Amino acid sequence: MENNILLYNGKFRRFGNKAYDWVGITNGIITDAGYGDSYVNCMDSYSEKEDISGRLVLPGFYDCHAHFVQTATKYISLDLIGCRSYSDIKDKIEEWIEKNPRTTIIRAFGLEVSNLEEGCYPTRKILDGFTKDYAIWINSRDFHCSILNTRAFHELKVPLAMDGVEYDDKASPSGRIYGKANALTRKKIIQSYSPSDRYKSIVELSQRIIKKGVTSIHVMEGGFEFYENDARDMNRYKDQLPVDINLFYSTMDFEKVEEMGLEWIGGDVYLDGSFTSKSAAIYEKYNDHEGNGELYFTQEEINEFILKSYEKNLNTTMHAVGDRALECLITAHEHASSIYPVSSLRHRVEHAELASDSQIERASRIGLIFSMQPAYEYMFGGPGKMYERRLGKRYRETNQFRKLTDMGIVICGGSDSDLTPIDPVLGIHAAVNHPVEENRVSVEEAVKFFTINAAFSVKEEKRKGSIEIGKLA
């Protein structure tokens, strides 16, 4: 039985400053559309009719980069987003204990160091002062740092000699852990949620994001700082959810990806770190730190991985934040494309927050898609904020949406949730109102980041991403 509906008296936005006034939908597909009151000639063929009273209608939004399981479990954990001081953290922990007296470990997410008036993450001893009766584990908003009290150190059995364990001036663990130690601890925490709680939180999140206009989402699951089963769970659950799921498994293991029948490999595999943790790989030194970040792979390793993906006809994407990491990835693609010059593959880079003019030109030439998070500029951009503290005057060169667009780069938009919320309207606002005026784009260009460009990035532009006859409604 056909399910058809006529929506009329609206503004169904198309690209190029055009808009239909009405559309007809049959079994979820746009089968007719037009202007003015021409719909009156076909009204009788629709079982449902709705006057939408002049409202604006856009294509369903994509979010092209979200850590879905991580974000979902936030709803059954302590949320520290918004904390401005250690006192705020203490208050939140005490409230959590009061509401969850049977808890044995406090799992907290979302702590942003640049928001803290103390200017640094709390230490193990500070957390011990909040409570010694419960294990406390806090993860930074960018996932790259965990902070534990003494009880959590013991219960999670953190190897004290492991790379990433920070020590204080008395050669005692400070409570802050990074790198491999952080990855190990995060995996233990994520595994501690019951399967039923994980599934319920995933369903709840998928229902929440529909209210934000999101109908398709690219989920980055598994990998270095995450739980491998997250990727398998999302692959199993994806057809049970009310949003379309594109799974990006954060692995370089070709057998795992092929076994699951995926078209993309790499996901959010880290080539470097983040600006928040001062681990993004850049050419110049940090403004507030002696180093210039870290590359987690050699050029030879990335060359080999990218070339093999071309050979196996797999699309790739990898996490590259700084210009030094981006150089490594572009170089690898240039090498592979010189051997396989004709390809239907669509390769992406995740984040690409700091790119030089030369890198943009070269990336455009080989068709590299930039999967970016405009809300970073809302959170971190502009004078006095994190980008300026880390990069000095180079903050003006972060997320150059205008230049990237003008030089032919296809940008698809995401959130990196739960670093920023799954909220494409916020991303559109951030791209249009970039704190550096010359980096701003128009509203239509920003909408494309989260619609047709996003669809293009996963080869879905023929059936999604714009309001046109023959596409999904």
Q: Render pLDDT for 100-112 as a digit per residue (tens, 0 to 9).
A: 888 889 999 989 9
Most confident of 140-149, 226-235, 437-446: 437-446
Is the per-residue pLDDT at 1 higher than 70?
no
- Which pLDDT score, from 0 to 100, does residue 441 have? 99
**How far, in whole angstroms, is CA 44 from its chain's centroid?**
45
Q: Which CATH code for domain 4-57?
A: 2.30.40.10
- Which pLDDT score, from 0 to 100, does residue 227 have? 77
What is the percent of the chain where pLDDT is above 90? 84
329 in Cβ contact with 303 (< 8 Å): no
Is the per-residue pLDDT at 226 higher than 60?
yes
- Which pLDDT score, from 0 to 100, does residue 3 have? 86
Phi-psi domain of 64 (left: phi exceeds 0; alpha: psi -120 through 50; beta: other): alpha
- If you average pLDDT over residues 305-333, what whole number do you get? 98
Give the chain's radius of gyration (CA, Å).
Answer: 23
CATH of 74-191, one of 3.80.30.20, 3.10.310.70, 2.60.40.10, 3.40.50.150: 3.10.310.70
In this prediction the pTM is 0.89
Q: Residue 199 corresponds to which tokens in the numbers above?
A: 């599934």
- Which pLDDT score, from 0 to 100, does residue 210 have? 98
Is the per-residue pLDDT at 334 higher than 70?
yes
- Which pLDDT score, from 0 to 100, does residue 190 have? 84
- Which pLDDT score, from 0 to 100, does residue 253 have? 97
- Which pLDDT score, from 0 to 100, does residue 192 have? 86
- Which pLDDT score, from 0 to 100, does residue 108 have? 95
Q: For the chain, give every domain's residue range.
A: 4-57, 74-191, 195-457
- If you average pLDDT over residues 364-387, what whole number do you get? 98
Nearest to 236 by CA among 223, 245, 225: 245
Across all residues in the chain, what is the average pLDDT? 95
Nearest to 95 by CA among 71, 73, 112, 78: 78
- If you average pLDDT over residues 296-311, what whole number do you get? 98
Q: Residue 96 corresponds to which tokens in the numbers above?
A: 């959590």
- If you average pLDDT over residues 259-263, what whole number do you get? 95
What is the percent of the chain where pLDDT is above 70? 100
Is the per-residue pLDDT at 65 higher than 70?
yes
Is the per-residue pLDDT at 4 higher than 70?
yes
- Which pLDDT score, from 0 to 100, does residue 329 have? 99
Cα–Cα distance measured from residue 468 to residue 393, given in angstroms and rounded to the nearest whole number: 44
- Which pLDDT score, from 0 to 100, does residue 54 have? 96
- If you average pLDDT over residues 345-352, what whole number do you get? 98
CATH of 195-457, one of 3.20.20.140, 1.20.990.10, 2.40.50.100, 3.40.50.280: 3.20.20.140
Q: Residue 420 corresponds to which tokens in the numbers above?
A: 């920023």
C-alpha neighbours within 13 Å on the C-beta side of residue 249: 24
